[in-house]
Amino acid sequence: MDILVYTIANKGALTKASAEALTLGYQLATNNSGTLISLAIGDNLSNAAAECGQYGAQKVYVAEHESLKYFQLESYLDIFDQVLARQHPYLILFPLEPSTRDIAAALAAKKNAPIINDCIGLSIDDSRIIAWRAVYGGKVHAQINIPQLPAFITMRANSVALAANPVQAEIVKIDVPTPLAATILKLKAINPTVTTRPSLTEARIIVAGGRGIKSPENYRLIEQLADSLGAATGASRSIVDAGWVSQVHQVGQTGKTVAPDLYIACGISGAMQHLAGISSAKCIVAINIDAEAPIFRVANYGIIGDLFEVIPALIEELRRHA
């Protein structure tokens, strides 16, 4: 019984979330006498394909063409169909990101198969497949029984501890028709969004700001601290709703649920829906002027104080240790 993991490359390198999905897929496959197969679709994939072997993929399918650089559901599904005609995995795992939700759901729809998004855990006990998800914005964890196969599962980033399992991988190139078959939806334009920072859901470190920053210009302070740590920038709902920062930065039940190694909450009091969204962070640091703020009840480390004094001191201290 085989497992297929869909992988994503960013600037030619395998994303961390993809490596995590491979790590998980390898563990499940080898414990259940199956093999791990991977698939990558896109452009500039040769390095990422080689990396898949490092994480245990024995067969690495690659559909590489410049016309596949940007996500187009129907074209990507055509590639999937080619692979699923040759392989019959009982689990298809994806690292969760904006394209994989669409692919997983479209494939699951075709087979009326289970589709479980944003899993934080997956195990096979006595041939029973069990997934874990966070529900109610992270306030509850749910155990899900998957009696029906194949199942399509997307995994939340930072949910699996990476482990290398180098194997001899067979790279299988998939023929990409040129031009691609016509699709109903057309990609009309691509607008690159320039950011030097990692994405919120994949970042190892997140620095987030809330009402305590007092005005939109002061979000710069959050960005400066983030840059000194190579971190992503997050925001509470209140400053997003106030229009101080774009919603792409929002963390919490109506924003992104995150699981970084380190979450630094600056001037965030800690509304329940925000706390739920960061409950899987491995370490939470809170900087807040109000000693009674609920954020201190979940923080591993807290500093009570004015963020306009503490953040610059923190940036300076980090610089001294660099």
Partner 1 sequence: MNIFVCIKSVPVSDAIIKITPDCQHIERTNLKYDLNPYDEYAIEAAVQLKEQFGGNVLAISLTDEIASVSLRRVLAMGADKLIQLMLPAVGLNDSQAVAQLLAQEIRQNPFDLILLGKQAIDTGSEAVGPLIARLLDLPFITAVTNLSVQEQTVIATKEFDGYQAVYEGPLPVVITTEKGLNKPRYPSLKDIMLAKKKEIISKNVALPQETCQIIHLQPPPTRPAGRILGEGPAAVPELVRILKEAGTI
Task: Tell whether residue 113 is a contact of partner 1 (CB under 8 A).
Answer: yes
Burial (CB < 10 A; 0-12, 13-18, 19+), residue 316, is exposed
**Applying CB under 8 A, which of residues 18, 99, 159, 218 lies at the interface with partner 1?**
99
What distance in Å separates the CA atoms of residue 174 and residue 70, rounded to the nearest whole number? 17
Task: Tell whether residue 137 is a contact of partner 1 (CB under 8 A).
Answer: yes
Task: Tell whether residue 285 is a contact of partner 1 (CB under 8 A).
Answer: yes
Chain residues 224-283 in contact with partner 1, contact rule CB under 8 A: 229, 240, 246-248, 250, 252-255, 257, 261-262, 271-273, 279-280, 282-283
Beta carbons of 282 and 298 less than 8 angstroms apart: no
3-state SS class at 147 = coil
Binding part of the chain for partner 1, among 47-55, 68-76, 173-181, 208-216 by CB under 8 A, reads 68-76
Q: Which is nearer to partner 1, 214 or 282 (CB)?
A: 282
Q: Which is nearer to partner 1, 22 or 108 (CB)?
A: 108
What distance in Å separates the CA atoms of residue 253 and residue 211, rounded to the nearest whole number? 17
Task: Tell whether residue 142 is a contact of partner 1 (CB under 8 A).
Answer: yes
**Applying CB under 8 A, which of residues 163, 167, 172, 304 lies at the interface with partner 1?**
304
3-state SS class at 224 = helix
For residue 117, the minimal CB distance to partner 1 (Å) is 5
Residue 220 Cα to chain centre, angstroms: 25
**Applying CB under 8 A, which of residues 118, 210, 234, 270 lies at the interface with partner 1?**
118
What distance in Å separates the CA atoms of residue 119 and residue 159, rounded to the nearest whole number? 8
| CA distance readout (Å), 322 to 25, 315, 317 | 37, 10, 9
Chain residues 167-206 in contact with partner 1, contact rule CB under 8 A: 183-193, 195, 199, 202, 205
Q: Which is nearer to partner 1, 32 or 139 (CB)?
A: 139
**Applying CB under 8 A, which of residues 67, 82, 90, 141 lies at the interface with partner 1?**
141
What distance in Å separates the CA atoms of residue 200 and residue 301, rounded to the nearest whole number? 21
